[in-house]
Structure 1
């Protein structure tokens, strides 16, 4: 994900995969499936940076924080696509090219969304 380092992306993937807010220990535990498990202090630093960048919200529980994404993965991806379109000198051409490369399922979802029928929050 643009704007995020490799470990930040992994941490966001963990947070997006959960319904409840997670502690630093929870995040470390879920990252432990990987070959290299980052240290608790490293994950704490990453989560603090993500909070400073407004990627996560945090709530104080006892003496520690619990973290949750500030927006869904789809919303974050949309924000990145919006940045790309805003930076393009010809946003309509970019959109048309994207539409031409979309799968049938994606085109149908787009049609439903534009007609107001699909992709409810």
Structure 2
């Protein structure tokens, strides 16, 4: 089950998702330190926790690890949305309330994606 990320977890995942390749703790730390004061060990612990939770994959390189996301940002968001929908007692009502809050242009985009999916096409944006 995917749960909502904490503030620091989300900041770390944003850095990992934005990277072109696997990243080290030091690289994530350097990026985060542009916005806040944070310790190396804190970032290392968060990244290890994200690995344990299955959000990051790591590979040993020398004495350190390099990390990459186990799923894309979009795949993670979709899985989280699925869990939120499943948590309501009435899945259809939850979905309808969600749709009511969407701007009209996003609803139109969703309709196009559903039409494409119904025709066996892959949705692209």
Of 40-49 and 2-11, deviating more is 2-11
Partner of 2:42: 42
> Which ranges in structure 2 are unaligned for 5 or more consecutive residues?
none
Tell me, yes or no, if the aligned pair for 1:112 and 1:118 is still in contact at 8 Å.
Answer: no
Check if 1:119 corresponds to 2:120.
no
Partner of 2:69: 69
Partner of 1:21: 22
> Which ranges in structure 1 are unaligned for 5 or more consecutive residues?
none
Larger RCO (alpha carbons 8 Å, 6+ apart)? 2
> Please, what TM-score do these two structures have when normalized by structure 1?
0.88
Q: How many residues align?
A: 120
Cα-Cα RMSD: 2.0
> Please, what TM-score do these two structures have when normalized by structure 2?
0.85
Matches within 5 A, 1:75-90: 75-90=75-90
Question: C-alpha deviations, 1:16-70, integer Å up to 9, x for none?
Answer: 111211001100111111132x111111111111000001111122221111111
